[in-house]
Chains A and B, each alone.
Chain A
Amino acid sequence: MNKINKVVDKLINLYGNNEPFPNCCYLYGQKSVGKSMCIENFLENASNYIESVIIYANECYSNKILFENIINKFNNHELNEANQFESFAKIDTMEDFLNQISMLDVSKSYIIVIEKAEKLRDMDINIIATFSKLQEFTGLNISCILVSHIAYEKMSGDEIIEIHVPDYSKNDITDILLNRYEEVHEEIIKNIKKSNMKNEEIDKQLEAVTTMNEEFYKNYLSVFLNVFYKACRDLKELSFLCDKCYPSYYNPVLTGEIKSTDVTNLWRNVTKTLKMALNTIYMRVGNLSAIELKSTEENDENTFEIHQRTNTIKTFAQMLELPFYAKYLLIASFLASHNDAKSDKKLFMKNHGKERKRKQPPKVSEKMNVQFGPKSFTIDRLLAIFYAILDEKVGLTCNLLSQISTLVDLNFLTFVSGESNLMEGTARLQSTLGLDFVINIGKIVGFNVKQYLTDFH
Chain B
Amino acid sequence: MEIGKTRKFLKSRLQQDTTTFYGFENEREHIKNLFLRAKDGESNSALLIGPKKCGKTTLVNSVLLEMLQDKKFVEKTLLILLNGLIHTDDRLALKSTTIQMNLEKEVEGKTFSSFSENLTFLLSCLKSGKDTQRLIFIIEEFDLFCAHHNQTLLYNLFDVAQSAQTPICVLGITHRLDVIELLEKRVKSRFSHRQIFLLPNSDDFETYFKIFKELLKLPTTQENNEYIKNNLSIPKNVFREIKLPFLRRLFNPSEYMFSKKHITDWNKAIDQLAKKEKVISTLENLFNTSVTIATLKLFLFQVVSNLNETHQKIEDNEMVKLIENLLFEDNKVKLLTGLSVLELCILIAIKHHCEIYDNDPFNFEIILTRYNKFALKSSTMQNIDREVILKAFENLKYQEFIGSIGIEGKIQKEYQMHKLLIFPDQIEKAIQRYQNLPTEVDHWSKSSIF
Q: B-contacting residues of A (Cβ < 8 Å)?
A: 13-14, 16, 18-23, 28-30, 33, 93-95, 98, 102, 106, 124, 126, 129-130, 135-141, 149-154, 157-162, 164, 166-167, 169-170, 229-233, 275, 278-279, 281-283, 308-312, 364-365, 367-368, 370-374, 432, 434, 436
Instruction: Verify B302–A372 contact, CB threshold 8 A.
Output: no
Bound CA span A94–B144, Å: 15
User: Contacts A22-B15, A162-B331; is A136 near B339 (CB within 8 Å)?
Assistant: no
User: Contacts A94-B86, A373-B414; is A139 near B387 (CB within 8 Å)?
Assistant: no
Closest Cβ neighbor of A228 among chain B residues: B340
Q: Taking chain A's interface residues, is the majority helix, strand, or loop, or is none over half, making it mixed? A: loop
Contact check: which of A18, A137, A159 meets B245 at CB < 8 Å? A137
Instruction: Verify A33–B248 contact, CB threshold 8 A.
Output: no
Bound CA span A224–B381, Å: 15
Of B92, B340, B400, the most chain A CB neighbours within 10 A belong to: B340
Contact check: which of A364, A367, A372 meets B373 at CB < 8 Å? A364
Bound CA span A309–B398, Å: 23
Bound CA span A130–B414, Å: 39
Bound CA span A364–B399, Å: 30
Sample 26 A-B pairs with CB under 8 A, ordered by A number: A13-B308, A20-B16, A22-B298, A28-B335, A30-B399, A126-B88, A130-B85, A141-B249, A149-B398, A150-B335, A150-B399, A151-B332, A151-B400, A154-B400, A159-B295, A164-B331, A230-B341, A230-B380, A231-B340, A231-B388, A232-B342, A278-B385, A279-B385, A279-B388, A282-B388, A371-B363
Instruction: Verify A129–B85 contact, CB threshold 8 A.
Output: yes
Closest CB pairs A-B (n = 7): A373-B415, A139-B248, A139-B245, A279-B385, A167-B338, A30-B338, A371-B365
Q: A93-B88, A157-B52 are in contact. List 5 more A-B contacts (CB 8 A).
A: A16-B305, A20-B12, A21-B15, A159-B298, A371-B366
- Asked if B290 is an interface residue, CB under 8 A from chain A, the answer is yes
Instruction: Verify A19–B11 contact, CB threshold 8 A.
Output: yes
User: Contacts A139-B248, A167-B338, A367-B366; is A18 near B399 (CB within 8 Å)?
Assistant: no
- Asked if B384 is an interface residue, CB under 8 A from chain A, the answer is yes
B-side contacts of A436, CB under 8 Å: 386
Instruction: Verify A169–B435 contact, CB threshold 8 A.
Output: yes
A-side contacts of B14, CB under 8 Å: 20
User: Contacts A95-B86, A229-B340, A364-B369; is A30 near B414 (CB within 8 Å)?
Assistant: no
Contact check: which of B335, B340, B400 meets A230 at CB < 8 Å? B340
Of A153, A160, A162, the most chain B CB neighbours within 10 A belong to: A162
User: Contacts A21-B15, A158-B53, A164-B334; is A231 near B384 (CB within 8 Å)?
Assistant: yes
Closest Cβ neighbor of B435 among chain A residues: A169
Instruction: Verify A136–B18 contact, CB threshold 8 A.
Output: yes
- Asked if B190 is an interface residue, CB under 8 A from chain A, the answer is no
- The count of residues in chain B whose C-beta lies closer than 8 Å to any C-beta of chain A is 69
- Asked if B347 is an interface residue, CB under 8 A from chain A, the answer is no
A-side contacts of B386, CB under 8 Å: 434, 436
Bound CA span A279–B383, Å: 8
Closest Cβ neighbor of A435 among chain B residues: B365
B-side contacts of A151, CB under 8 Å: 331-332, 335, 400
Instruction: Verify B53–A126 contact, CB threshold 8 A.
Output: no
Instruction: Verify B369–A368 contact, CB threshold 8 A.
Output: yes
Q: Chain A's nearest CB lies how many Å from the CB of B357?
A: 8
B-side contacts of A283, CB under 8 Å: 387, 391
User: Contacts A130-B85, A231-B340; is A13 near B306 (CB within 8 Å)?
Assistant: yes
Instruction: Verify A98–B366 contact, CB threshold 8 A.
Output: no
In chain B between 1 and 38, which residues have their CB closer than 8 angstroms to a CB of chain A? 7-8, 11-12, 14-16, 18
Instruction: Verify A161–B302 contact, CB threshold 8 A.
Output: yes
- Asked if B266 is an interface residue, CB under 8 A from chain A, the answer is no
- Asked if B411 is an interface residue, CB under 8 A from chain A, the answer is yes
- Asked if B183 is an interface residue, CB under 8 A from chain A, the answer is no
Bound CA span A325–B247, Å: 83
Contact check: which of B338, B365, B384 meets A278 at CB < 8 Å? B384
- Asked if B98 is an interface residue, CB under 8 A from chain A, the answer is no
Bound CA span A434–B306, Å: 56
A-side contacts of B387, CB under 8 Å: 279, 283, 309-312
Contact check: which of A19, A141, A149 meets B7 at CB < 8 Å? A19
Q: Chain B's nearest CB lies how many Å from the CB of A313?
A: 11
Instruction: Verify A278–B388 contact, CB threshold 8 A.
Output: yes
Bound CA span A434–B390, Å: 13
Instruction: Verify B414–A139 contact, CB threshold 8 A.
Output: no
